[in-house]
Amino acid sequence: QKSLSETFGADKYSRARKEVLTFMFSRPMQMALYFCTGVLNDETLFHHYALNVPFYTHFTSPIRRYADIVVHRLLSAALGARPPLQMEKEAIQKQAEHCNDRKMASKRVQELSADLFFSIFVRVR
C-alpha cells in the first residue's frame, strides 16, 4: 500500500491515478460466485481461500442484492426464525446462476467504463 501511495503522486491527477490503478490491480482477483450448496457434492468448493475457513457464505444488507435476500431467508430458516423456503434446491441454484450472470455483466460494464476513462485520460495527457 505504501509503494502504491508513492506511485500516485501528489499532483491534481493523483486521485484519478489512484482510482484507476487500484481498480486495475484488483481486476485479476477471482470473482466470488453464488451457488446452492445442496446441488454441489464437493465441500471443498465452500472454502474461502483468503480467510482460510472451510465453510463460508457472504451476504450484505438485503436491500442491496437479491442474492443477499435469499441468503438471509435461508439463514433465518436454518436458525428456526422463519419457516423453510418452499423452493427446490435446483430452483435456488438457477436463481444463483442468474445472479452470477448479472453480476458478471455488471462487472464487464464497469471494466469497459474504466477502460474508456483511462483511454481518454491517456489521450489528454
Instruction: Produce one character per residue of 79-113: b if its CB has 16 or more CB atoms within 10 Å, e if not.
Output: eeeeeeeeeeeeebbebbeebbeebeeeeeeeeee
| Cβ pair 82, 73 in contact under 8 A | yes
Site of grid cell 446452492? 36
Is 22 in the same domain as 61? no
How many structural domains are present in the chain?
2
Taking 70 as the pLDDT cut, the residues of the chain under it are 1, 4, 26-30
Distances (CA, A) of 55 to 71, 72, 88, 121: 14, 16, 22, 43
Is 72 in the same domain as 108? yes
Is 21 in the same domain as 39? no
Is 39 in the same domain as 81? yes
Residue-wise pLDDT for 14-44, tens only, equals 888 888 777 777 666 667 788 888 888 888 8
Q: What is the pLDDT of residue 93?
A: 93
Is 37 in the same domain as 21? no
Is 62 in the same domain as 118? yes
Q: What is the pLDDT of residue 30?
A: 67
Its domain, for residue 14, covers 1-30
Q: What is the pLDDT of residue 1?
A: 64
